[in-house]
Structure 1
């Protein structure tokens, strides 16, 4: 199971924690919650279509794309800029979303490149 998170951020360096927000209406979040782990795949600016695939509800989002399992068992998508392999540390209700806090167990920056961003309802790029 996978989803495109509209909010992802670093929370703490010690211990290493990150967070993302999942809508209460998400059909994917209950499966991720039940698994107890997730992997944040950092998409490159050229991977907009991949992001759109994970932004829709239903279907096997991993069909037809290359991926492998991280140490926790969560999926790492091939050719992403990097990944963070996490277990669920905490959940906090926040309006129509749940804030999911994850403990990072492994990470890798596999490729050079610029990240894909979503801002003001559209995809964009970040130039440093």
Structure 2
């Protein structure tokens, strides 16, 4: 369980560092100051891109597009239930962005963790896991 939480937190950090509703994110920083620090902006952008490639490649290989859609659908249905119960108010744009970040980070975190979950449940290793 701690492995999944670590992978999910890393995915959430990657997404929220890239963009979030506060002023502290890569997109806002590049828009405001990227021209003054172009080399730093390019380096940071490349590092973020490497993180996205690692997460997206692993997610697509482990759960695929259908699995990603299913995880997002389950999250959306959960948000719908919370809204119907009056627990959250979707009229706040900042909250909606944070919910989107949570949803996307769950997709990436589950995608990166899925081989470990499948191996724990079934006792079978994936072809990529044979060398471990």
TM-score of the superposition, structure 1-length normalised?
A: 0.25
Structure number with larger C-alpha Rg? 2
Instruction: Give the structure with the larger helix fraction.
Output: 2
TM-score of the superposition, structure 2-length normalised?
A: 0.24
Instruction: Give the structure with the larger strand fraction.
Output: 1
